């Protein structure tokens, strides 16, 4: 049994087909990826056409899409499955899920890129078996996927926890990159914010301790808040910025400091090294999570 | 059919028995309270005994307890149903739920006071029919009850969103009241923090605009963060401090400002007056929510 997934980003679309089975929930290993392609994100029509070409030879039972947003995830809405108010030119109010459902006549699951990623890690990765877990990506933007009470969190729209408001570090005079919020996580701590603040490419800043201490402090503030609000059983932390892996230990230390011993649980204290972790699915939580979204959608349609 | 509930606070226990029916989910009105009592929270043995005396004449099918915490809510744990590391003298590591389950041999539901309150409002109040909603209480402490994906949020422990970290307002030199966190919501914005900052009882500060503008600013920061992280469909805001009802409009305005137009949904914009609201159950969301916790526990045991 073969299932498809798309990790839809603002610059590229990662498409994959994976081998799985009816008892995919019980599989010890993540589905084996049989083929994959990266397609640059151009205008919707041509991009949709190229992705459909990729999937064309494969008899997939379902497709899942984890997409950049914002998205309409309300099944009762006329525009369910659409990318909505994105600043990405040409993509505003485009029917992403429906295009594939009509072309392939299979169940198409649809959610945010970060919700797909946390789902992948819950199904087959570092958050396996958790009922509540989050996936934080710190890269071009900051996003948080939230799995709670055994499902992906949507609510009124969908969480946008990458924009939570932080306390500015004393002496940090950088104005922030978010056009909406003066002091939000994405504005202060995304990859482009680091480069703009320090006037250099992140890779060339690797040896400058003050850069990563400030960055760890902002990430840790956000992580402490996420622990307080979600009480997750596991926190997966990734994205381009976290490729500076020295950040992990700094973030763990400072998140503990910020919590001040208030959350009494070994995972928030001596075992924090097993609590705040990189993904177990390497670079694939997004696309494997998208495969999982499709498999869940197939079960939803069977009910 | 009669069901019992306890809203367990640090200073008093509100006990009630309410008339309900098997189809309590469909009832338009909240259950009618047949009897209630307030019992001062003394040492556990005497307090348990007085509460058992109150319920003794009533043939209740279930009991629910919404309690001050922290609590052990992990059903697999040896200390499930216990109050755990509370500073409240005599109550540390006490088996609250088990005491009543053994004495009455009925299903006993157990959760935090704020989770009970949000459940009451979801079942019969201002968040009726919501799949994701929160209940914020700003009083002696700050607590947040979280209902998401159709259930109360627990996770690793249970949310402690009243302690999220805020940006201190420029010029606010008050050191905060939380022994764990320098800048957390509870430390900066609880009732005792207001009184300590301004050196006067809250009631006598009613006419001082600067007091309530600062307070609204802190509450709005937290509310904006809760909107970003939970994407709730309704926000119930209450507690002793919110009896200063002029705060509602200030909090709504400032939460909108803080969000900066980023969350595009009428409820977060022009309809924010219907979004951030006081409870519909008046002073009873906690105890009616506890009744609901018991009814849910009864269904859980039937399964």
**Final residue of a structural domain among A53, A81, A113:** A113
Tell me which chain A residue has its CA closest to the CA of residue B260: A180
Position A207 in a domain: yes
**Cα B91 to Cα B85: distance, rounded to the nearest angstrom:** 8
Same domain for A273 and A132? yes
**Cα B301 to Cα B162: distance, rounded to the nearest angstrom:** 32
Domain count, chain B: 2
Same domain for A139 and A271? yes
Q: In this predicted structure, what is the pLDDT of residue A86?
A: 84
CB nearest to A167's CB, from B165, B258, B265: B165
Position A293 in a domain: no
Tell me which chain B residue has its CA closest to the CA of residue A161: B229
Q: In this predicted structure, what is the pLDDT of residue B87?
A: 82
List the domain range (segments joined by +) for residue A186.
Answer: 126-277
Q: Across chain A, which distance is largest between two alpha carbons, in Å?
A: 57
Same domain for B56 and B21? yes
Same domain for A82 and A38? yes
Position B285 in a domain: no
Same domain for B183 and B131? yes
pLDDT > 90: percent of chain B: 92
Position A217 in a domain: yes
pLDDT tens digit sequence for A135-153 = 999 999 999 999 999 999 9
Position A246 in a domain: yes
Interface A:B, Cβ pairs < 8 A = 151
Same domain for B37 and B60? yes
Contact between chains at B149 and A144 (C-beta distance less than 8 A): no
Same domain for A48 and A174? no
- Apex A30 CA angle, A28 and A36, nearest 5: 160
Same domain for B68 and B183? no
- Apex A11 CA angle, A7 and A13, nearest 5: 30
Same domain for A254 and A146? yes
ipTM given for this complex: 0.94
Position A74 in a domain: yes
**Cα B42 to Cα B49: distance, rounded to the nearest angstrom:** 11
Q: How far apart are the first and last CA of chain B?
A: 19
**Cα A272 to Cα B218: distance, rounded to the nearest angstrom:** 30
What is the three-class DSSP state of B71?
Answer: strand
Q: What is the CATH number of the domain that holds A219?
A: 3.30.420.40
Q: In this predicted structure, what is the pLDDT of residue A85?
A: 85
Judging by beta carbons within 10 Å of its beta carbon (0-12, 13-18, 19+), is residue B20 exposed, middle or buried?
buried
pLDDT at A11 over 90: yes
Q: In this predicted structure, what is the pLDDT of residue B28?
A: 85
Among B75, B112, B142, B165, the residue to mutate for chain A (most A Cβ within 10 A): B165
Provide DSSP, A221-245.
HHHHHHHHHH--SEEEEESGGGGST
**Final residue of a structural domain among B60, B88, B113:** B113
Position A21 in a domain: yes
Contact between chains at A155 and B131 (C-beta distance less than 8 A): yes
What does pTM read for this prediction? 0.95
Same domain for B166 and B139? yes
Same domain for B267 and B165? yes
CB nearest to B156's CB, from A152, A163, A267: A267
pLDDT tens digit sequence for B172-229 = 999 999 999 989 999 999 999 999 999 998 889 999 999 999 999 999 999 999 999 9
Residues from chain B that touch A265, judged by Cβ atoms under 8 A, are 156-157
Task: Determine the average pLDDT of the residues in B131-143.
Answer: 96
Tell me which chain A residue has its CA closest to the CA of residue B179: A260
Among B114, B153, B155, the residue to mutate for chain A (most A Cβ within 10 A): B155
Tell me which chain A residue has its CA closest to the CA of residue B157: A231
| CA-wise closest residue to A137 among A16, A256, A250, A278 | A278
Position B259 in a domain: yes
Contact between chains at B225 and A229 (C-beta distance less than 8 A): yes
pLDDT tens digit sequence for A100-138 = 999 999 999 999 999 999 999 999 999 999 999 999 999
Contact between chains at A264 and B181 (C-beta distance less than 8 A): no
Same domain for B171 and B231? yes
> Residue B161's pLDDT band (boundaries 50, 70, 90)?
very high
**Final residue of a structural domain among A51, A80, A113:** A113
Contact between chains at A225 and B224 (C-beta distance less than 8 A): no
Tell me which chain B residue has its CA closest to the CA of residue A169: B167
């Amino acid at each position: 049994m073969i299932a498809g997934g798309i990790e839809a980003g603002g610059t590229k679309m990662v498409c994959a087909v994976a081998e799985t089975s009816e008892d995919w929930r019980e599989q010890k290993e993540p589905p084996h990826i049989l083929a994959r392609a990266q397609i640059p994100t151009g205008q919707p029509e041509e991009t949709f056409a190229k992705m459909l070409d990729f999937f064309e030879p494969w008899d997939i039972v379902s497709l899942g899409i984890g997409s950049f947003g914002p998205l309409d995830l309300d099944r009762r809405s006329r525009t369910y499955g659409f990318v909505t108010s994105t600043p990405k030119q040409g993509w505003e109010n485009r029917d992403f899920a429906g295009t594939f459902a009509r072309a392939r006549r299979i169940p198409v699951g649809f959610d945010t890129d970060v919700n797909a990623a946390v789902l992948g890690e819950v199904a087959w990765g570092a958050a396996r078996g958790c009922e509540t877990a989050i996936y934080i990506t710190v890269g071009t933007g900051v996003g948080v996927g939230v799995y709670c009470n055994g499902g992906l969190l949507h609510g009124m729209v969908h969480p946008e926890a990458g924009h939570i408001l932080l306390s500015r570090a004393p002496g940090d005079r950088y104005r922030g990159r978010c056009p909406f919020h003066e002091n939000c996580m994405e504005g202060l701590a995304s990859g482009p914010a680091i480069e703009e603040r320090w006037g250099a490419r992140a890779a060339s800043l690797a040896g400058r301790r003050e850069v990563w201490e400030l960055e760890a402090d902002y990430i840790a503030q956000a992580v402490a808040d996420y622990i307080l609000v979600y009480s997750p059983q596991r926190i997966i932390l990734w994205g381009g910025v976290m490729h500076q892996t020295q950040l992990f230990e700094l973030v763990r230390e400072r998140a503990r400091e910020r919590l001040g011993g208030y959350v009494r649980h070994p995972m928030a204290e001596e075992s924090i090294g097993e609590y705040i972790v990189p993904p177990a699915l390497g670079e694939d939580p997004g696309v494997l999570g998208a495969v999982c979204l499709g498999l869940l959608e197939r079960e939803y349609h069977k009910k």
